[in-house]
Structure 1
Amino acid sequence: MDYRQRRRIKVWGKAEYVEGDSALIERLRIPGYPAKVERAILFHVEALSENCSQHIPIRYSATEVEAMMAPLVARIEELEQKFVGE
């Protein structure tokens, strides 16, 4: 889910647990990865769907909201000072 870009992809399929297939494990092994790989899970994708962005809300982090609000907060403080001084 990408809330900022309002994108979502749904993936339907089945997972297959594989153990004891040394040829497959070797094909999937990452060169230089130090752990011993003993099993794998293969995902068989059967369908994909990109959803309409209409129903995905845009979400912002607290830092992003603070940055967007900073000019408004500054303007409010400016106006408060102006009216308090009168």
Structure 2
Amino acid sequence: MTPLDRHQAELLYEGAQALVRGDKERARALLLELVELNENIPEAWLWLSGAVDDPADQRVALENVLALDPDNPYAQEGLAYLDAQRS
């Protein structure tokens, strides 16, 4: 993974903070901007999975995490949760 530039790091931080505060709309906007700039940031996809409501969008985000970081336990748990919800 290439290091984040300052703007990307700020988007990731602000997006994560917005999600923690419960501001999903702002988090989603910031994190989508980030993945449009650089789609190779697993943390951005992971946070984005929590900022979207549609399970299909959550699945895409989590699968993107695993494509970049195959051993990410949070993405693995998230997909397992989504699979359990389907049943």
Q: TM-score, normalised by structure 1?
A: 0.20
Give 1 or 2: higher strand fraction. Answer: 1
TM-score by length of 2: 0.20
Indicate the structure whose relative CO is greater, using CA pairs within 8 Å and at least 6 residues apart. Answer: 1
Bigger radius of gyration among the two:
1
Richer in helix (by share) = 2
